Amino acid sequence: MFEGIPLWAILVDYALGVVMYTLIARFAMGIFLPEDSSFFFNRFFVKVTNPLLKLFAPITPAFLIQPMRPIYVAWFFFMFRFYAMPWLLGYSVMGMLSFPLEGEVAQGLSRLLGRFLN
């Protein structure tokens, strides 16, 4: 499926993708739930992403409201995946790498929907 893409690149992309989507999930839950909610998933996302938010605090604008900070940090992970990964793999055009994580999810959904629609 990923011919020509080294294993290290797939593993790095998967790890960065999981971090990015975890931050996005925290942002989405933050729309509906307070940060100190007792809901299991919210507690998990807060606990897992707080170290990242603290790490990125020096470059996070002070005017950015607290609930928006996870999506701001997720943007950095997306940008790294979109621009740095192709560069590390030697592509001459930025953004040429199809994200392996999203490709796997799309193929899985395609197979699943194909079974239901046929």
For the stretch 105-117, pLDDT in tens is 777 888 888 888 8
Q: What's the predicted TM-score (pTM) here?
A: 0.77
The stretch 90-103 carries a mean pLDDT of: 60
The stretch 61-83 carries a mean pLDDT of: 92
Instruction: Catalogue the long-range contacts made by 20-23 (C-beta closer than 8 Å, 24 or more residues apart).
Output: 20/74, 20/77, 20/78, 20/81, 21/74, 22/48, 22/49, 23/49, 23/52, 23/70, 23/71, 23/73, 23/74, 23/77
Which range (21-30, 61-70, 108-117) has the least confidence?
Answer: 108-117
**Integer distance in angstroms from the first to the last C-alpha of the chain?**
24
